[in-house]
Amino acid sequence: MDTYRRNAIAVGILFIACSAASILSAAPLGSALDSSDYLQALAGRDGQVVLAAVIEFIWAATAAGIAIGLYPVLRRHGRALALGSVVGRTAEGVLVLVATVCLLMLLTLSQQQAALGAAADSASQVLGDTLLSARDWIHGFVMLLPWLVGAFLYYWVLLRSRLIPRWLSVWGLAAIVLSAGATLYAGFAQDFGFTSLNTALNAPIGLQEIVLGVWLIAKGFSPPGVASSRAMPAA
C-alpha cells in the first residue's frame, strides 16, 4: 500500500469520525442546557458532561487532523491554499476546546450552586449565563468561520487537482456556501439552535463529508490526480 492510499484511508476515517463527533457531542446532555434552570440540570450530570467533553475533544482533534492529513498531498497543487486549510481547521479545533472548557466550568459552577442552596447569589447565575452565551456563540458562529474558510480552501484544491471526482468537489463547495449562509443567519439572528433553516442549510455538507470519507476509504484518491501529484516537485 503506497503513501497516497494510506493517506486517503486515514483522512477518510478522520472525516467520518469528525462528522460523528460533531453530531454526537450534543447527545449526552440532551436539552439540559436549553432549560431556564440549566445549572440545576447540570449539577447531577458529572458523567454526561465529561462524556460530552471527551466527544468534543475528538471533534477538535479530528477537525485539525483532516487538513493536516490532506496537506502532504494538496501542497503540490497549492501550498498556500493547503496551509490555509490547516490553519482554518486547526483554529476550529481550538475554538471547540474553548467551548468545552466553558462547559466544564459550567459543571463546576452548578455543583457550587447546588452546595450553597438558598445561599447561592445572583453572581453565580450571571457567570453561568456568560459562560453559556460564550459557548453558544462559539459553537453557533465563531468556530464555524475558520471551519468554512479551511474547508473551502481544501475543496477548491481538490477540485483543481482532480484528486477526487469533480462532482464530489463541487458538492463540497456548494454545500460550504449554503453552510456559510446558515452561519451568517445564525450570527445576525443570534439563533444558535437546531432550527429548521439551519438544519436544512447545513445538512448538505454534513452528508457530503461522510460520503467523501467513505469514498476515500473505499476508492482513495483518483489516479489522474495522484499521477499529476507525483509529477510535481514537493514544495
Q: Report the pLDDT averaged over residues 85-90.
A: 96
Q: What is the pLDDT confidence band of residue 34, given thresholds at 50, 70 and 90?
A: confident
Q: Report the pLDDT averaged over residues 2-10.
A: 88
Q: Report the pLDDT averaged over residues 197-217.
A: 93
Q: Indicate the burial class of 19 (C-beta count within 10 angstroms; 0-12, 13-18, 19 or more).
A: buried
Cβ contact 160:232 at 8 Å: no
Cβ contact 92:146 at 8 Å: yes
Q: What is the pLDDT confidence band of residue 233, given thresholds at 50, 70 and 90?
A: low
Q: What does the pLDDT read at residue 74?
A: 92
Q: What does the pLDDT read at residue 118?
A: 55
DSSP-based helix, strand, coil % in the chain, nearest 5: 85, 0, 15
Q: 21: Cβ–Cβ under 8 A, 6 or more apart, which residues?
A: 55, 56, 58, 59, 62
All three cell numbers of 183 = 452561519
Q: What does the pLDDT read at residue 225?
A: 55
- pLDDT tens digits, residue range 52-81? 999 999 999 999 999 999 999 999 899 999
In one-letter notation, the amino acid at residue 164 is I
- Note if the pTM is more than 0.85: yes
In one-letter notation, the amino acid at residue 74 is L
Query: If you search the block for the grid coordinates 446532555, which residue do you land on?
Result: 29
All three cell numbers of 102 = 466553558
Q: 212: how many CB neighbours lie within 10 A of its CB?
A: 24
Q: Report the pLDDT averaged over residues 24-50.
A: 88
- pLDDT tens digits, residue range 139-166? 999 999 999 999 999 999 999 999 999 9
Q: 134: how many CB neighbours lie within 10 A of its CB?
A: 16
The DSSP 8-state label assigned to residue 139 in this structure reads: I
The proportion of the chain whose per-residue pLDDT surpasses 90, expressed as a percent, equals: 69
Cβ contact 18:66 at 8 Å: yes
For residue 33, what are the CA distances in angstroms to 38, 49, 193? 5, 11, 11
Quote the CA–CA distance of 118 and 114 in Å, as a whole number.
9
Q: What is the pLDDT confidence band of residue 229, given thresholds at 50, 70 and 90?
A: low
DSSP per-residue codes, 184-198: HHHHHHT--S--HHH
- Asked whether the predicted pLDDT for residue 39 surpasses 60, the reply is yes
Cβ contact 96:56 at 8 Å: yes
